[in-house]
Structure 1
Amino acid sequence: MMLDADWVYFKIDPGNMTFVTRIMEGFEYVGVVTALDGKKGIGFVRTTADTADAARRILLALPFMVTLLTREEALKETEK
């Protein structure tokens, strides 16, 4: 899978992945959530240059812990 460095990568409690997907679906223009490793809560939002900041703000405003990651950090987390 080709992963763009400009997409928004994150780590959350795995039980919240569906919630994040649904929230981002509600913001249709922002991006699409994809799980890199759903069992570990590692995912990303396929954003554009114009919507990446909005995706970060939405993720950080959620009512649970969200850690934003770089592409490299996300790939390392999936290897653990």
Structure 2
Amino acid sequence: MFDEDWVYFQAPPAEMTFINRIIEGCDYLGVVTALDGRKGLGFVRTTKDTAGETKEVLQSLPIPVRILSRQEALAAAGQQ
């Protein structure tokens, strides 16, 4: 259900909409989905080709964004 190629992240919950709009503006990167919006956990549905660039975009934002592994994100969301 949760693909290894997707980019998982954690950011301040109040910034999830901002992240969504930035990724939407880069329309070829992927689609943002909240895993647990209250915890600021989300992922971008990417391909192998766009995952690296998506990570770069997320880490270049003027807000703290932590890139997570799939396992870290699911554990933080309580979805082992």
Please classify the TM superposition score into its range, dividing by the shorter chain length.
over 0.9
Render the CA deviation track for 1:10-63: whole Å, top value 9, x for unaligned.
Answer: 000000000000000000000000000001000000001110011000000000
Instruction: Give the drift of 1:7.
Output: 0.5
TM-score normalized with structure 2 length: 0.96
| Distance in 2 (alpha carbons) for counterparts of 1:40 and 1:32 | 19
| Distance in 2 (alpha carbons) for counterparts of 1:47 and 1:6 | 6
Gaps of 5+ in 2: none
Do structure 1's residue 38 and structure 2's residue 27 form an aligned pair? no
Question: Counterpart of 2:52 in structure 1: which amino acid?
Answer: D
CA RMSD in angstroms comes to 0.5
| Distance in 2 (alpha carbons) for counterparts of 1:5 and 1:24 | 19
How many residues get paired?
A: 78
TM-score normalized with structure 1 length: 0.96
Question: Counterpart of 1:19 in structure 2: which amino acid?
Answer: F
Show the counterpart of 2:19: 20
Runs of 4+ in 1 over 2 A off after TM superposition: none
Gaps of 5+ in 1: none
